[in-house]
Amino acid sequence: MSLFSNTSLRIDALPSLVEEEFEGLPLRYRTLRMAVYSIVMLLVFAALGVLMWFEWQEVNSFRWGVWLAFGAAIALGVMWALEEVKGFPLRGVVVREHDLSYRSGFFKRETVTVPFNRVQHSEIAQGPLSRAFNVCTLKLYTAGHSGANLRVPGMDVERAKRLRQQLDERVSQS
Amino acid sequence: MWKGLSASGNNWMSVSANHNSAEESQPQPAHFPVLRQHPTGVFQYIVNYTWTFIRGFWPILAGAAVSDNIRAYGEWIGLAVLAIACLSALLQYWKFTYQVTEEALVIRRGVLERERITIAFERIQVVNLEQSIWQRAFGVMSIKVDTAGTSGAEVEIAALKVQHAKALKSILSSGGAKVLRDQENEVSEPVSDSTQLIAISWSRLFKVGLTQNHLRSALIALGSVVALAEPLEGILTNWLSDVPMYTWLLLKFLWVLLIPFFTIGVVVIGMLVSLIGAVLRYYKLQVSVQAEGLELSGGLLKKFEFKIPLHKVQMLEGSSGVLQRLIGFETFRIHQARAQSEAAQGGVSMAIPGLEWDHAERINAILFPPVSGEAEEIRPHKMLLIRMLIFRSALILPLLVWGYGWMQIVGGIWGVWLSMAAIKQYHAVQLTVYEEQLCMRTGWLRKKHIRTELRKAQRVVLTESWLMRRRSLAHARIYTAAGPVAVRYIPKKTATKLRDISLYKAEATNRPWM
């Protein structure tokens, strides 16, 4: 317990996380996401095409199940596209003096904040695809429950490394 | 604190042939002796191995029991398994050593792959001593240490002489404040400044047993009866065929009369089971507060001693059923940071049953800073209720549409009950934010409240779906190392305010939080 106390704290005077302060992710990451999107969609529709071809060979028409699958694939494609196009500008990080926040999602928007002094360790992960685009995933782990507690995918590698270094310095000071 | 990755820095060293020389090459001060467990640890390992074998291979075992060919060699197979279990237990025992240095517990273990685990005392969340009934016969105890590391490092020393175990516990839980000079001298003398908080007497234990959830106990009893009935099928059919024929005829018409007897039987069995369960678990439960932390001990067949430093308590959960509220009892549960998310997976979480209101307040006052400042109450928006109702009616709807007459009636009654419960539950949800504390209340028949300190927050998540955004609502989740406090469907402004204040509290302090 410290002797110093500061009781009269006004909530309005607290530093607040401002939505406008979020910095977007590099556009390279959007290209990567688009590539993944088109590959997955290509595969889905190719599979559908095969299914329809067999169906046509067999009964010379399409039964309702095929139309259902077709509709579901299109709906999925449209929703996902909306998420990518509308959602990408919303993806972003804010690094403040004491914490890091990550916002993402169009249909379900999520803002995760982790204070630096609660971080146990950090990790920079990079798969072959993200290496090609020179981006990486920054993961911050806190204590207790397993799993990364804050994942920021699609960060610029240089920026992630700098951030991590800052984190290290902060911790060695305290 | 940054470098020590998870709580235990696991050094994997694979040693080829000569273990001893490799171990001696480690820098190792001579005055910290390398110790082995009590020999009864071997038994513990044998039991563990056999149990894991049975659990892992039970479908095969069950298949084998049916086939005659394999049954003929049953004894041999059993003996072989036992032999393997014994051998590996012996090896494991032989290769397990521990060492207490000035600030860490060093454990070396593993037969094929040697593992060296160093646990710094300050990283230890909880020390738990356990003594099962056969261990008591040998005067040994097992000690469990939870560190809440990311890799799930929970370490168990299976068997130690009671005085050694107690001495080790006091060293481990002191956070390295005092160093062990001589283990023999530190025989479990209670520390002078310990104050006893709660001691459960027989009458209180009886009351606790009577106010458990009897329905659940009855279900457990029923389940085990069904499980037992399967192998005893032959005996049962034999026995039933002896019952004279006219009994069945009578039963055919008089079964309605048996319903009350059956109900009373279920209630009595449920009560008995919960009474026995309560006595087994909470026999001689004692809670005391010492300078280093909170200590719980008790148990009839399996004794336990559980110790946690005060500042490592993350959450205090109180819950009370209808019966318990009737006599003013509450069950408290202490949550600490832990590696596993579920208590069932070997994680330790301690319950203190049968607390009256003033006890509860005292525990709260010990664990957390006093409640001060103005309290702000946060309640969820109506959308939560609407969502609950939609989900529940979706559950009932198929029954009403496709069911027969009586099913529709039952479904209707059930639906009314569910909606009433939803309304009551919705009104019970309430988050109170004090200057330092959070208190989340939920539940209608079974009331629950979770208390935690604002500064224990280590991650804050705000979520808003597309529909919620139009009404400017949000979910707020404040994660501590022991789990989240979640409020759903609150105004976005309140949610951001909650985030700002908990982040501020967490970031502005340098006091240890776990």
CB contact under 8 A, B481 and A143: yes
Is residue B385's pLDDT more than 50?
Answer: yes
Is residue B189's pLDDT more than 50?
Answer: no
Contacts of B400 (CB under 8 A, 6+ apart): B408, B411, B412, B415
State whether residue B86 is helix, strand or coil: helix
CA distances to B109, B115, B132, B183 from B142, rounded to whole Å, are 16, 20, 9, 17
H-type helices in B283-369, by residue range?
Answer: 322-326, 357-367
**How are the residues of chain A apportioned to helix, strand and coil, as percentages rounded to the nearest 5?**
50, 25, 25
Q: Tell me the shortest Cα–Cα distance from A51 to chain B, in angstroms.
A: 32
**What is the mean predicted confidence (pLDDT) over B46-62?**
78
Are A25 and A91 in contact, with CB atoms under 8 Å apart?
Answer: yes
pLDDT on residue A45: 94
Is residue A14's pLDDT more than 60?
Answer: yes
Spatial distance between the Cα atoms of B349 and B347, rounded to a whole number of angstroms: 7
Confidence of residue B20 (pLDDT cuts 50, 70, 90): very low
Is residue B431's pLDDT more than 50?
Answer: yes
Q: The domain at B376-507 falls in which architecture?
A: Roll (2.30)
Which class is A91-173 in CATH? mainly beta
**What is the mean predicted confidence (pLDDT) over A121-141?**
89
Q: Which of B2, B339, B481 sits opposite A171 (nearest CB)?
A: B2
Amino acid at position B440, single letter: M
CB contact under 8 A, B483 and A145: yes
pLDDT on residue B349: 61
**What is the mean predicted confidence (pLDDT) over B75-92?**
86
List the structure tokens of B181: 């000079």
**Which chain B residues contact residue A107 at CB under 8 A?**
465-466
pLDDT on residue B417: 93
CB contact under 8 A, A113 and B461: yes
pLDDT on residue B108: 86
Confidence of residue A148 (pLDDT cuts 50, 70, 90): low
CB contact under 8 A, B463 and A150: no
Lowest average pLDDT, out of B26-40, B316-330, B404-418, goes to: B26-40
Domain extent listing, chain B? 205-282, 376-507
**What is the mean predicted confidence (pLDDT) over B473-492?**
90
pLDDT on residue B402: 85
pLDDT on residue B22: 40
**What is the mean predicted confidence (pLDDT) over B172-190?**
48
Residue B286 β-bridge partners: B199, B297
Domain extent listing, chain A? 27-87, 91-173
Q: In which region does residue B366 sit, left (phi positive, over 0), alpha (psi from -120 to 50) or beta (all else)?
A: alpha
CB contact under 8 A, B148 and A11: no
Confidence of residue B24 (pLDDT cuts 50, 70, 90): very low
Confidence of residue A102 (pLDDT cuts 50, 70, 90): very high
**Which chain B residues contact residue A171 at CB under 8 A?**
1-2
Half-sphere exposure of A72 (CA within 13 A, CB side): 8
ipTM of the complex: 0.86
pLDDT tens digits, B197-247: 778 888 888 888 888 877 777 887 777 777 666 666 667 777 777 777 777
pLDDT on residue B386: 94
Are B95 and B109 in contact, with CB atoms under 8 Å apart?
Answer: yes
Spatial distance between the Cα atoms of B77 and B82, rounded to a whole number of angstroms: 9
pLDDT on residue B338: 67
Q: Which of B152, B469, B513 sits opposite A146 (nearest CB)?
A: B152
Is residue B67's pLDDT more than 70?
Answer: no
Percentage of chain A lying above the pLDDT 90 cut: 47
